[in-house]
Amino acid sequence: MKGMSYGELFSLIKSHIFAVLLFILVAVLMVNGFANTADKRDGQAIRSASDSIRRAVVTCYAIEGSFPDSYEYIRDNYGVFIDEDKYVVFYTVFASNIPPNFKVVEKR
């Protein structure tokens, strides 16, 4: 660094600071992208679980002539698998001839 003027030294420091800030910006954008991907994956898993339950409910109605009276019934008899350590299924029935209401929610 001997023989460098203050202007050259300042320019060198400024370029290093720019490189560090650019690296930090790229790192932050990557972390944000990974977080968004995880959120989308979880949302897709919930939609997939809901679709699986819906298909089992309709299949049960078509085969047995009535809607299933519980989530446990379709889980045990129609092969629906939901990761119950990660998700909760709320399943309510009004009558056997009316489709049940259900919702899959992620445990927090």
- Predicted pLDDT at 55: 93
Cα–Cα distance list, 43 to 10, 48, 56 (Å)? 49, 9, 20
Indicate the range of 4-18, 20-34, 50-64 predicted with least confidence. 4-18
Angle of the 6-64 helix axis to the 71-78 helix axis, nearest 10? 90
Give the pLDDT confidence of 75-91 residue by residue, as tens digits.
Answer: 999 989 898 899 999 99
Mean pLDDT of the chain: 85
Query: How far apart are alpha carbons 1 and 4 in whole angstroms?
Result: 6
Q: Is 68 helix (H, G, I), strand (E, B) or coil?
A: coil
- Predicted pLDDT at 92: 94
Query: How far apart are alpha carbons 16 and 3 in whole angstroms?
Result: 19
